[in-house]
Amino acid sequence: MPKLEKITLVTGANKGIGFEVARQLAKKGFRVFVGARNEKAGRAAAVKIGRAAKFLKIDVSDPGSIREAASELAKTIDHLDVLVNNAGIIVDGDDAILKTTSGQFETTMRTNALGPLLIAQAFQPMLAKSSAPRIVNVSSSGGQLHDGADGWSPVYCISKTALNGVTSQLAAALPKFAVNSVCPGWVRTDMGGTNATRSVEEGADGIVWLSAEAPQNLTGKFLQDRKVIPW
């Protein structure tokens, strides 16, 4: 009986950490779906990765787009092994909690916390057909509560705290899945900026490890550099 191919969906995979995760997983033999809302950039990224990659149009802030993407993917594959919720945003002006607007808050939460939850719900039936389903939520140490906040991009940080809560709840609801949050560190991307301390390869490492190599019974945790860290 032929071995089933490993299949992954990475959101926000047209650039930055998401692209690097998709590229590395393709090199490991995964069939990769490059999730992005920008069709031109997404298709170009898939071509750059190679034959193992295919573009999937998905806007993680739009419930309708998420449902359409799940329906579209179900026409192409019979199972999904790994979902990497990587897409995320920092909105302009997110620099002072006392000046945060409802628009800034809702826009950020819709993409960074609600989006990953709705995507997990939509793709869960395909993931359930995998022998070892995994959900990897790309979070941030800025979302940690254990050591207090420093005031940096407060709405973004709150959204990552919420994403960590989503991770914990999904892990409880999906006991046969490995569901974890991961902090890639401060990475040189459009979001991280040129002064960041890590390359995209270094940022992608822990995400790829959780997607492809970590123990299946490692679930409901927050990790950085392949080690569990406090929530």
Q: Which residues are catalytic?
A: 156
Half-sphere exposure (Cβ direction) of 63: Cα atoms closer than 13 Å: 5
Count Cβ atoms within 10 A of the Cβ of residue 141 and give its class: 0-12 exposed, 13-18 middle, 19 or more buried: middle
Q: 108 CB contacts (<8 Å, ≥6 apart)?
A: 89, 90, 91, 94, 155, 156, 158, 159
Amino acid at 55: F
CA angle 56, 62, 64 (to 5 degrees): 75
Report the DSSP beta bridge partners of residue 55. 34
